Amino acid sequence: MQSIKFNKKIYTLEAVEKAIEEFKNLADFSLKEAGNYIEVKIDKIDKGVKNILPDEFANYVLGLMS
């Protein structure tokens, strides 16, 4: 399982939720808000993208912020 934390001062919950919707066929995602962070846990990642999915997911969220 991998975990990514997004600072709420930079990222919106809506952007993270949209990214989860777009990537849902590649892994299992769970989301939790804790203080100033949105934490996304990624599990059961598709073998074909296991090494790149967390970084690509974070980049996608960042792209949604523009």
pLDDT confidence of residue 33: 97
Strand (E) positions, 1-66? 2-7, 28-34, 37-43
Q: Which residues of the chain have pLDDT under 50?
A: none
pLDDT confidence of residue 66: 85
Question: Taking phi first (over 0 means left), then psi (-120 to 50 degrees means alpha), and beta for anything else, what does residue 44 get?
Answer: left
Q: Taking the CA atoms of the chain, what radius of gyration do you get in angstroms?
A: 11
State which fold the 2-64 domain adopts.
Alpha-Beta Plaits (3.30.70)
Q: What predicted TM-score, i.e. pTM, was given to this entire model?
A: 0.92
